[in-house]
Chain A
Amino acid sequence: MSLWKQKRIMSKAVGLAALALSAAVGTSASAEEAKTQYFPLATFRVGAYASSGIPVWAGEIDYFRYINEVEGGINGIKLVWDECETNWEVEKGVECYERVKAGKNGSPVPIFLPHGDPISKALTEKSVADKIPLVTIAYGRTEAIDGRVFPYSFPVVFSFWSEASSAVNFIAEKVGGKDKLKGLKIATVYHDSPYGKETQVPLAHLAKTYGFEDIQIPVPHPGNEQSAQWAKIRQLKPDWVFLRGWGVMTPVAIKTAAKVGFPVDHIIGGIWSGSEEDVRPAGAVGKGYLAVTPFPAGANFEIHQKLKKYILDKGLSDLKDPKSFGSVYYNSGVDEAIVAVEAIRTAQAHFGVRPINGEEAQWGLEHLDLSEKRLAEIGATGLQQPLKLSAKDHEGGGAGKVLQWDGEKWNVVSNGWVKSDRDLLLPLIYERAAAYAREKGITPRDATN
């Protein structure tokens, strides 16, 4: 190699090193200077599930605006967000995650909300590598409750297993106690997908424990024709039906149930079969339909009064249809935003008041304590259940309220929050998490720190 060539290579190497150094210094400086907390939102405002998504972002964005406008940010750190359209499709969801994970203008991503069960499952391992926590309220992999194996997955508040158990416990409440469950037939009509199948194991376990008959009836996607499934229901004559639908499957199920003469007040919808968007299209036959949810509907919670006064009445709301204010999906967005904001606040208390990165937010989530007192301060008493997370428990709550549709709106008909049998189910969940760890060669974390 000639001397001239060697010099040229050396000068290139020095140039690249200088560039890398300046980039690193620049990034660090901009992160230091960043006074805002970036919060990317993976949304689906178009496509088959847009009607479900639009009120969710409205609730979430309205709460973020409230934090910025009224409270001046989280301890002075204002939230900034942008949206990435996923169409509720896995590939687009993953693409969105990849696009935003590096943060924006020096502000890191503290938490990523995948907004889609399949997307959250596709991101499980990536999130660990990138150290960005996935918060999946009322969806996602149930065994991720075990944070020793899933350090960056947070199926906070209400997992699918808790949903199934709460529904069974509500039936027990209606029939006069858990001992009366013996001999009952409970049919689960489920969306035939990994999400739909998620409750098969806990229901089999609960059936064995309490002595009821567990019937499983799948409905193929999208569920716009269910004559055969409900003919089977008519043949098997279950006492209760637990409906775990998504999208169009729910109104079709309610209508087809009416068609075969099954009483709608003996159908309990799951979390994603329990919104206004699910039951309104069913029309008059939906009156009396029940649903278990961690997002009770209603606009009379204290936080709603604040949102109305400071955001909606000032024309700052993201809500296009005012009828959706206080709907199940709107409230789910508010709940999600509360959890995110409180996790960042917890992390700030430990790491300092500044934009929080994913690793710090993970610590914040694992030390999140949404007590009755804190919920009252926020104005979310009754809207959000008390939560206390830890490395060993990424769910924290595990209770739902049962709502009944009166033809116009949802009313709470359960005796407050219906708790799930977490003590009964947690050992099974830990077993599954351990099996996952063995399969993937993961050494579970020590949960004592």
Chain B
Amino acid sequence: MSFFIETLVGGLLAGVMYSLVAIGFVLVFKASGVFNFAQGSMVLCAALTFVSLRDKGIDFWLAALITLAVMVLIAIAVERVVLRPLVNRPQITLFMATLGVSFVIEGLAQIVMGASVHELDLGIVDTPIEIGGVQVSQFDLVAAGTAGILVVALSIFFNKTRVGIALRAIADDPQAALSIGIRLQTLWQIVWGVAGFVSLVAGLLWGARQGVQFALTLVVLKALPVLIIGGFTSITGAIVGGLIVGAGDSLAEIYLGSLLGGSVSTWFSYVLAVASSWSGRPVCSAKRRSKGFDACRRSAQKPSKGSTRRTRPRRACATGCAQARLWCCSPHSRAFRL
């Protein structure tokens, strides 16, 4: 039994690592509805920049700060050069553009920083510890803790800040958001910047585990089933999806591997993803939020007593339910004037 628990715990912790990459996809998708194919390249670029700076003797935190600045610059460049000219184009066009961005980032990163493999030491001990007779990796625990902090920070960002709320509004209906004065370009830069920050965190943890090398881009392979299971718009879903994929892969490899000829984990997560799609919606879908929007819309249409702000349709919100949704879901109408 302890072996089963150990495998399960190991799988869950491994799944958290996948979630870290999946969160980057979720952020961009939430804000723009675009599946960012360049996420893996951003993970590589962040880790490679950081480790190259460290190799030059730059202090850890300063290197992290400079890397973050580089990622923000990339975010601005991507918005200016790639996304802005493609506003209002079909989603597939934007997706293909991110595919191009991924090749450009990978190529430039290799030209500037070389193709060598780098060791990345974060100073985290990776010897196993025993908890109740079950061996657990200290590194994986730190990674799980980091993912937890990241999720909390992003939740606060999305739910409590004006920028975050505006991002949600854009995710819901970009046209309506634009009509009430939200600057789409600025928000895209911000969200790509935040995705860059998430890439840095994921790149550091994955880089510490496997070395900083080109193969870091391949970690996205496992982020895809995580996204299908957890949903493309939910950060919590990314975590839950990661846990399901990690645990599923580990248990399947151990208990089904010998029966099915091994390497079950190559495809098992995709089986889980397909199975989850049969249920009609991801584990953490936007369904619940939509209900919230509907409730908001109703409340906007039927003003409650004593509430002047909610009952007075704003100029930009007066023309349709999408605008009403944006308006009513904002705790403060000023949130949209960015």
Contacts and interface: CB of A to CB of B under 8 A. Distances in A.
Interface of A: 45-51, 54, 192, 216-222, 224-225, 227-229, 231-232, 234-235, 247-248, 251-252, 255, 258-261, 277, 280-285, 320-321
A220 B266 contact: yes
Interface of B: 3, 6-7, 10-11, 13-14, 17, 107, 110, 114-121, 126-128, 135, 137, 139-140, 206, 209-215, 217-219, 221-222, 249-251, 253-254, 257, 262-263, 265-266
Contact of B127 (A221, A234, A258): A258
A126 B246 CA distance: 43
Contacts of A50: 110, 115, 214
Given A220-B266, A251-B210, A283-B119, A231 B7 contact: yes
Max count, chain B CB within 10 A of own CB: residue among A46, A219, A227, A232: A227
B3 A228 contact: no
Contacts of B266: 192, 220-221
B14 A225 contact: yes
Given A217-B262, A231-B10, 5 more contacts: A45-B115, A218-B262, A227-B250, A259-B127, A282-B211
Contacts of A192: 262-263, 266
Contacts of A219: 263
Contacts of A227: 7, 10-11, 13-14, 250
A261 B135 CA distance: 9
A280 B117 contact: yes
6 contacts: A45-B115, A46-B110, A51-B117, A220-B263, A225-B249, A232-B254
A225 B115 contact: no
Contacts of B3: 231, 235
B266 to A, nearest CB: 4
A232 B107 CA distance: 38
Given A48-B215, A227-B14, A280 B119 contact: yes
The 4 closest A-B pairs by CB, nearest first: A281-B211, A228-B253, A218-B262, A50-B115
Contacts of B128: 259-261
A224 B246 CA distance: 13
B219 A224 contact: yes
Contact of A224 (B107, B110, B210, B263): B210
Given A46-B107, A255-B209, A281 B250 contact: no
B123 to A, nearest CB: 11
A248 B215 contact: yes
A48 B265 contact: no
Contacts of B107: 46
A281 B117 contact: yes
B212 A228 contact: no
A285 B214 CA distance: 22
A238 to B, nearest CB: 15
A247 B250 contact: no
Contact of B126 (A220, A225, A258): A258
B210 A228 contact: no
Contacts of A283: 119, 121
A321 B254 CA distance: 42
Contacts of A255: 126, 209-210
A219 B251 CA distance: 14
Contacts of A251: 117, 210-211
Given A225-B17, A227-B14, A252 B263 contact: no
Given A259-B126, A280-B117, A231 B250 contact: yes
Given A217-B262, A234-B135, A280-B119, A228 B7 contact: yes
A228 B262 contact: no
B118 to A, nearest CB: 7
Nearest to A53: B115
B218 A248 contact: yes
A260 B139 CA distance: 12
Nearest to B211: A281
A228 B214 contact: no
Contacts of A280: 117-119, 211
B265 A220 contact: yes
A216 B114 CA distance: 36
Contacts of A229: 253
B250 A46 contact: no
A260 B128 CA distance: 6
Nearest to B116: A51
Nearest to B267: A220
Max count, chain B CB within 10 A of own CB: residue among A235, A248, A280: A248
A411 B6 CA distance: 36
B10 A228 contact: yes
Max count, chain B CB within 10 A of own CB: residue among A47, A224, A283, A285: A224
